[in-house]
Structure 1
Amino acid sequence: MAPAQINYKVPSKLDVENIIYKLPASDKVKLLAGEDRWHTYTIPEHGIPGLRVSDGPNGIRGTRMFNGVPSSCFPCATGLAASFDLDLAEEVGSALADECIAKGVHVLLGPTVNVLRSPLGGRGFESFSPDPYVNGMFAARYIVGVQAKGVAACIKHYVGNEQEFERKSTDSIIGERALREIYLKPFQMAVKHSNPWTFMTSYQQVNGEHVADSNFFLNDVLRKEWGWDGAVISDWTGVYTTAASIKAGCDLEMPGPSVIRGAAALRSMVGRKLTVDDLDKCVRRILNLVNIAIDSNIPFNAPEAGIDTQELRSLLRRTAADSIVLLKNDDAILPITTPKRIAVIGPNARLAYTSGGGAASLLESWTVSPLQGITQAAKKIGAEVKYTLGTRGVKVLPLLDANLSVDKVLGEWWNKKPSDDFFSDRAGVELPEAEWSTRSQTTRNWCIDGVDADIVQPMSYQRWTFTFIPDTSGDWLFGAFTAGFGLVFFDGHLIIDHYNNAQIGPNFMGKATEEERALVKNLQAGKEYKVEVRGTADIPFFQGDNFAPKGGFRLGGECVVDEEEEMEKAVRLARDSDVTVVVVGLNQDWESEGWDRDDLTLPLRTNELVSRILKADPRAVIINQSGTPVEMPWANDAKAILQAFYGGNELGNGIADVVFGKVNPSARLTMTFPKRMEDSPSFPAFSTRSEGYNKCFYTEGIYVDYRGHDIKKVDPLFAFAHGLSYTSFSTSTLSASPISASGTFEVTVTVQNTGKVVGREVILVYIHDVVSKLPRPPRELKAFAKTKELQPGEEETVVLSLDRDALGYWSDEKHAWVAEAGLFQVLVGGEKIEIELAKTIQWTGV
């Protein structure tokens, strides 16, 4: 429930200095922390409203993770960046701002620009690229789109938050040059090109100190060196000290109520650890942010609404298609044209995996799965589609949402145990009328919010009931975990006990039990079965934890199949079809906030499935869906491969548009897909799993991603910037203007569509320092652009502007950026060292 703020109106603009002069220290301290999970503090007597913030970065969840207002989900950042279309990034930012306004949100917690130094990072899909230039430019244009409509963007996580393992205590040991050139650079570029109004600090330590406590990162670099003057917000529960974080300039502790500040800050003032001036600096920046929100005319404490327009649907579909990379297309297998029978196979086909897990996940307003998109497109050309699973691809069993009756899930709450036999092994226990109730659309309910806080107390009891209708006859395997402790009953029988001898595990951010599974035999398709879940959050582990949920559960299930028989069924279907489309990949079980991946392998028996399908149908189209790289041991055998990423609401239609040729793919990878994990430059210095040892050494230095592959001459599976088209292009007449005294210059390239299909081409400009005092990568991306849609035979002249940053590097010796006089090569092309065009220019230096 939102705090009691100033109606639904926009208040008068604040006289910041006058308010600071009048506010007592006790109220100033209140302003330094949130009032709840998604609002800053309200002080009505001084006319100060509470700001509303929301996750991001690829959608606007609003104020509720449980039973929230449905939202548009855009493709994950690695997918959006694969478009290499900065105008599209701005359009997406603008659309996200519209959804913020609809939900009364003043601060969008995004974009994420941490660096994909390892493909195993759990939140890698949230960032745009391991290349600092791509990362920074996409962040800047996204921010421009968001802030043009008065919504504040909160760029995150500043800085060095590249792994999830022990993310609050890990110490990222990063050399000064790598820190400046790779990890700080995207944030610096965002400040330069878009000026985000807020920054979010990261969880972990960098070189021995938490960033929220760091005078070096927050004052010396961010405010003094870069000249930035916005508000700094902590990551949620990411403040660990009182005086140090305030003095360093971490303005706002989130979420509220305060754990680290509050009374502790007042006590620090008594002991002269903090001064009024220390508080005033933070309060001033927070009130300035409130004034930005007031200027935006976004109401405070507004009711939340969603958006569904034809324009929005078109943008979501276009973005989904434009993020898809054509990795292989031997023999021009794609696009599909005139088949009669299409086989769709694979664990990622029937379900719409719109996003990775954690803060980026949300309740989508609608979804289109790959199977749905392909089926709808096939109907238009008179083709028949048949589907089979092939093999499982999930870690936890799929949700039962598609198998619920129309009344969905009823949740009921009591503040005290409603019956002595509430936790007996008997279903259907008679209970008094609930103190509060609601309905949910899903069998995944994490009640960290969305429950009436005026009625339901933190240590409460819940019952969930719904009707399950199987779509397939047979034995079903169910898997459940509960937020707190609980029992699961199916058709009147206790099948899972998470109450007696239960222990809290990693699920729901460490607030739920481990998944436990139960087999229920001989279910009949179409028959109704009653399911009941009883649980409690009244456990000592939750006491005093402001992230403790008021109950919840997750229940998944699937009809049991013989895996070998299912795989043979998939092989037969492929043999009997004109075209086979195999959709595989990862999902929220594997890529999520909260944990890192263990390896690059596709789940379970996925690789075996793909290999067997390719033997049955060598022309099968393989679609991989993941936010970050995976190994593809079958890649040499496949003739057609697409990389689809997490495509948001319109994922399935986006895939269909590319597969059937409605959209000519023009995306390119913004990261390297290594052949094996050992080839990744960060191997083995990532996510060190050692009890009591918390240091992670960034041993690859500046040689991240393609820089590392280039310097070691390690061939990848698919290189950075790789991406094919259904047409062909040629580039010619490369020219570069003389470098000005300030270091600016222009590169001009002519691009021609030499094929037979309308398409767009990406132009990438790399710089190579011919003779450098310090070692430098063989090439560094410093500019890129995308052509308009070119008709066959049509040309476009593309002009790219570069500045001194394209020539320079960080000198540890001088603690400054240095651009040496001498010769520089301008390299224009795609993924390889053997660049298509090259030109040498001279810089006299300053």
Structure 2
Amino acid sequence: MTNAFRTEATVVVAQMTLTEKLDLICGNGLWRTTGVPRLGLPSLLMVDGSNGLHVVPDQISTDTQNTDLGAFLDAVETTDDPENRDDNVLLGKSIPATCFPVLSVLANSWDITLAHEVGTALAIECRAAGAQILLGPGINLRRSPLAGRGFEYFSEDPILTGEMAAGVIQGLQDKGVGASLKHFACNNSETERISMDSVVEPRALHELYLLGFERAIARSNPWTVMTSYNRLNGVQTSQNPWLLRDILRGRWHYDGMIMSDWHGIQDLPAAVKAGNDLDMPFNVARRRRLENAVSGGNVPVAVLDEACIHIAALTLRSADAQRRLPVSHPDFAAHHDLARKATSRACVLLRNQNNLLPLTPKPGNRLLVIGTGAVSPEIQGAGSTAVRPIRCDIPLECLQATAPEGVSIHWEPGWSVNGTHDPHRQDAALAAARSAETVIVFASTPPSVSGENADRPNLDLCQAHNTLIAELAKLHNRIVVVLTHPDAVVLPWADNVQAILSAGYAGAGFGQAVADILFGHTNPSGKTSITWPVRPEDCPAFLGYPGEQGKHLYREGIFVGYRFFDIRRIEPLFPFGHGLSYTSFTYAALKLANNAEGVAIQFTLSNTGTRTGREICQLYLGRNPTAANRALPHHPLRALKGFTTVSLEPGESRVVTMTLDRRDLAYFDTVREDWTVPAGTISIDIGSSSRDIRLSDSLYIVGDATPARWLDLHTPPGQALEIPGVQKELVAWLADVTGQSIIETKNRLAPCSRSFLGIYDTLCWSFGLELDETRLAHILDDANRRSGAKKPGHRPDNCSKLDPS
């Protein structure tokens, strides 16, 4: 929010009646805000869909207060019965739109410019549909591949997440459509999502789950932020003053509008006081409770006005953007080409044994395509983000059109329409494979078993798909598997096939993008945005997922994703940042320069292969995870801090420069309750993946002063005696009490530093006296004041701060 919009909004709100203020906060129907026409505030239309528009005309009429919860649930509900799946219900009879790759797939491109292009296209289609706000992107971390909405989120890493989200947001807002960054925060599963309490310790909260939001906000300033359904450390996020006022408004200086997820507010007066501005959708009971709370003085009018000012400023900003920026009719053909390009850059070549790909069949060769997904592809997930695509590339048709002349392509379904075993179809596919030069299998997870309000039951592909692939591997040595899936999957046959291409939920351009990659017209460049486990038990969140008795303990702390696999020395199926190419790259000549602002990094990247290719260079910061026998902060072995995508012609080299600022070198210090740079030696690692480090060098970093520890009667004496001045005061006091000389007292005190007991008990035992607790406490308090130490728990980082009213 610029100062001008806020100033104008303040003037407008001052002229509003109480009824108009309540209406402004409580929304209008399912998808609109309530306007105040007499004061120049129009109603805003909000639409779903981070990978394409989900607009249901029947639900956005302006002449009725549509409060039909059933209509909302129709748009988001997931069915686990594929045979009874009704796309008209699933898609909520949405208008046709371009279906781009879902965000989990787009993240595999690691391409911020591409994310901006997709955001721009989404904005153009939003404007054409009359919408001012797009409810996305979603950036909760993909903490577990079982999470039902994992396909809606970018990555397990907050840096990749924040940077890609900023690209989408800037693309949207540069064209006059506001983004709604969601779901704030720690919405990492769908189980009991309206009541589950995400219990997260402070370092993990700041270093992982909040960092993606912070980074996206700093780089793109989204017009709105949407709170999540869950509780966070005991408090509903929409009613959480610590999260909304202290962190989002205070620490990050966010000045946009904060809105609820749909029906995500349980106590509207508490939510408004906590800083949640807009309650969506309209609900009669919630509005009545807010009106009663204002009339009864429980919600001060000043707090109500603050929420209205944020909504009014958003409305004015949107109206200004729509006036300044011309509306262009969507070029749906160009948008479809963009969807194809996005998929081409985001598909990940996981395995390519003996360089089977790209395929170079000769005239007369016969290729076999297996799988119902080749003729009826699953291009997106279920729920509120589902898009009714204007057009969709059919993989089999695209393969037939792209194959060299004279090459025949035969198709076998391999299994039943719903993905289950069909012995006749399996036998027919196996028989056809015996005479095929290459076999291409389109395999997938069971359709519509996950999505909004439904976590995945396991990480398996359809059992019939696994069975057929295993049988094929026994009789054929040229097998390519193309995977359609919401998140990571386990592949028991991975070592027995020659090539694996991960497409995920790849959008409407899936068919042609895959055909171009398989036949070499496109060089794959995507890299995994999460770590793929060999088995579910290897996942960091396995033991605590999805929670019990209403609490979801984030037991792994800061060791999420590849951080966990590294620290536990677990070999993943495919590591974070992994992806193969049809060319090769070498890294050389790493140079580091340490300065007051941070670290400047330079290296040379060369394309040593025969094809033009794109390489995603990844910058990791490495640290010793902890010092032996010391209660010092733990750190990941390696953490992503930056990345860049470089396109090179064969034989071309380029000098790549990257930087780390002081914040990149910091961790969240729970004593200071702030970001702190620890002194010590760090490793700068440049890699092609988190497990493929090509260059590495070390630097010593002069960190911030070590925060003083709070001293009390139970502090071990060794820690207390390290604090300047404490020993001198203790010796003087103990010499006076015992009548011993200073030297004798020092000698008697020296062994106390090895005691594991508290300082009071240790001194009483060592000197054979019952010492004055009050006098010792004064000595320790004086030391705390001199050192600036903070008492533990003086401001709990658990969202329990009282509201500002």
Name the TM-score, length of structure 2 as normaliser.
0.79
Task: Report deviation, 1:372.
Answer: 2.4
Q: Which residue does the alignment assign to 2:190?
A: 164
- Structure 1 distance, partners of 2:285, 2:617, is 49
Structure 2 residue aligned with 1:803, among 661, 664, 668?
661
- Structure 2 distance, partners of 1:292, 1:563, is 57
Structure 1 residue aligned with 2:603, among 742, 746, 749?
749
Task: Report deviation, 1:727.
Answer: 0.8
Which amino acid is 1:290 matched to?
T
Q: Which residue does the alignment assign to 1:17?
A: 10
Map 1:506-521 to 2 at 5 A.
Answer: none
Number of residue-to-residue matches in the alignment: 660
Is 1:242 aligned to residue 268 of structure 2? Answer: yes
Is 1:150 aligned to residue 176 of structure 2? Answer: yes
Q: Secondary structure at the match of 1:607?
A: helix
C-alpha offsets along residues 144-172 of structure 1, whole Å, 9 cap, x if unaligned?
Answer: 11111121110000001000111001011
Structure 2 residue aligned with 1:762, among 593, 613, 616?
616
1:393 to 1:748, Cα distance in 2 relative to 1, 3 A: farther
- Structure 2 distance, partners of 1:196, 1:263, is 30
Which amino acid is 1:658 matched to?
I
Task: Report deviation, 1:265.
Answer: 1.3
Q: Which residue does the alignment assign to 1:837?
A: 695
- Structure 1 distance, partners of 2:562, 2:468, is 30
Is 1:334 aligned to residue 361 of structure 2? Answer: no
C-alpha offsets along residues 466-492 of structure 1, whole Å, 9 cap, x if unaligned?
Answer: xxxxxxxxxxxxxxxxxxxxxxxxxxx
Q: Which runs of 4+ in 1 moved over 4 A?
A: none
Contact 1:735 1:747 in 2 (8 A): yes
Map 1:539-558 to 2 at 5 A.
Answer: none
Map 1:552-701 to 2 at 5 A.
Answer: 563-586=422-445, 588-688=447-547, 693-701=549-557
C-alpha offsets along residues 665-715 of structure 1, whole Å, 9 cap, x if unaligned?
Answer: 011101011000000011121123x5xx11110001110110000000000
- Give the greater-gyration-radius structure (CA): 2
- Structure 2 distance, partners of 1:66, 1:646, is 19
Q: Which residue does the alignment assign to 1:480?
A: none
Q: Which residue does the alignment assign to 2:679?
A: 821
1:260 to 1:821, Cα distance in 2 relative to 1, 3 A: farther
- Structure 2 distance, partners of 1:670, 1:98, is 27
Task: Report deviation, 1:394.
Answer: 3.6
Contact 2:115 2:168 in 1 (8 A): yes
- Structure 2 distance, partners of 1:610, 1:202, is 40
Is 1:312 aligned to residue 335 of structure 2? Answer: yes
- Structure 2 distance, partners of 1:36, 1:305, is 28
C-alpha offsets along residues 623-664 of structure 1, whole Å, 9 cap, x if unaligned?
Answer: 111131001000010111110111111110111111111100
Q: Which residue does the alignment assign to 1:706?
A: 562
- Structure 1 distance, partners of 2:612, 2:268, is 59
Q: Secondary structure at the match of 1:767?
A: strand
Q: Secondary structure at the match of 2:122?
A: helix
1:637 to 1:230, Cα distance in 2 relative to 1, 3 A: same
Task: Report deviation, 1:813.
Answer: 1.9
C-alpha offsets along residues 206-249 of structure 1, whole Å, 9 cap, x if unaligned?
Answer: 11010000000010000011000110111011011021001111
Q: Secondary structure at the match of 1:58?
A: coil
Q: Which runs of 5+ in 2 are unaligned?
A: 58-90, 627-631, 705-805
Identity %: 35
Map 1:259-298 to 2 at 5 A.
Answer: 259-297=284-322
Is 1:39 aligned to residue 32 of structure 2? Answer: yes
Q: Which moved more, 1:588-597 or 1:769-778?
A: 769-778
Q: Secondary structure at the match of 1:761?
A: strand
- Structure 2 distance, partners of 1:78, 1:168, is 23
1:343 to 1:202, Cα distance in 2 relative to 1, 3 A: same
- Structure 1 distance, partners of 2:690, 2:39, is 61
Structure 2 residue aligned with 1:733, among 574, 589, 599?
589
Map 1:375-394 to 2 at 5 A.
Answer: 375-378=400-403, 380-392=404-416, 394=418
Contact 2:49 2:387 in 1 (8 A): no
Q: Which residue does the alignment assign to 2:576?
A: 720
Task: Report deviation, 1:42.
Answer: 2.2
Which amino acid is 1:383 matched to?
V
Name the TM-score, length of structure 1 as normaliser.
0.76
- Structure 2 distance, partners of 1:562, 1:695, is 38
Q: Which residue does the alignment assign to 1:372?
A: 397
Q: Secondary structure at the match of 1:730?
A: strand
- Structure 2 distance, partners of 1:634, 1:387, is 22
- Structure 2 distance, partners of 1:628, 1:391, is 22
1:769 to 1:35, Cα distance in 2 relative to 1, 3 A: same
1:33 to 1:729, Cα distance in 2 relative to 1, 3 A: same
C-alpha offsets along residues 752-804 of structure 1, whole Å, 9 cap, x if unaligned?
Answer: 1111111111110100124764110100000100102x121111111112211
Which amino acid is 1:91 matched to?
E
Contact 2:6 2:309 in 1 (8 A): no
Q: Which runs of 5+ in 1 are unaligned?
A: 1-11, 396-560
Q: Which residue does the alignment assign to 1:347?
A: 372
Q: Which moved more, 1:30-39 or 1:282-291?
A: 30-39
- Structure 2 distance, partners of 1:152, 1:367, is 27
Task: Report deviation, 1:812.
Answer: 1.5
Q: Which residue does the alignment assign to 2:93?
A: 67
Q: Which moved more, 1:93-102 or 1:226-235?
A: 93-102
Which amino acid is 2:20 matched to?
D
Q: Secondary structure at the match of 1:760?
A: strand
Task: Report deviation, 1:175.
Answer: 0.7
Which amino acid is 1:26 matched to?
T
Structure 1 residue aligned with 2:148, among 122, 129, 147?
122
Contact 1:357 1:588 in 2 (8 A): no
Q: Secondary structure at the match of 2:208?
A: helix
Task: Report deviation, 1:595.
Answer: 0.3
Is 1:181 aligned to residue 203 of structure 2? Answer: no
1:317 to 1:159, Cα distance in 2 relative to 1, 3 A: same
Is 1:135 aligned to residue 161 of structure 2? Answer: yes
C-alpha offsets along residues 354-403 of structure 1, whole Å, 9 cap, x if unaligned?
Answer: 2111112111111112222212212x5332222111124748xxxxxxxx
- Structure 1 distance, partners of 2:275, 2:110, is 35
Structure 2 residue aligned with 1:213, among 239, 246, 260?
239
1:26 to 1:586, Cα distance in 2 relative to 1, 3 A: same
Contact 1:106 1:298 in 2 (8 A): no
Task: Report deviation, 1:587.
Answer: 6.0
Is 1:322 aligned to residue 345 of structure 2? Answer: yes
Contact 1:771 1:823 in 2 (8 A): no
Map 1:447-486 to 2 at 5 A.
Answer: none
- In terms of fraction of residues, the more helix-rich structure is 2
Contact 2:575 2:691 in 1 (8 A): no
Contact 2:625 2:635 in 1 (8 A): no
- Structure 1 distance, partners of 2:468, 2:104, is 26
Contact 2:56 2:93 in 1 (8 A): no
Contact 2:379 2:507 in 1 (8 A): yes
Map 1:247-258 to 2 at 5 A.
Answer: 247-256=273-282, 258=283
Contact 1:70 1:306 in 2 (8 A): no
Task: Report deviation, 1:101.
Answer: 1.1
Task: Report deviation, 1:305.
Answer: 11
Task: Report deviation, 1:103.
Answer: 1.1
- Structure 2 distance, partners of 1:308, 1:366, is 13
- Structure 2 distance, partners of 1:562, 1:21, is 67
Contact 1:682 1:699 in 2 (8 A): yes
Which amino acid is 1:720 matched to?
F
1:715 to 1:260, Cα distance in 2 relative to 1, 3 A: farther
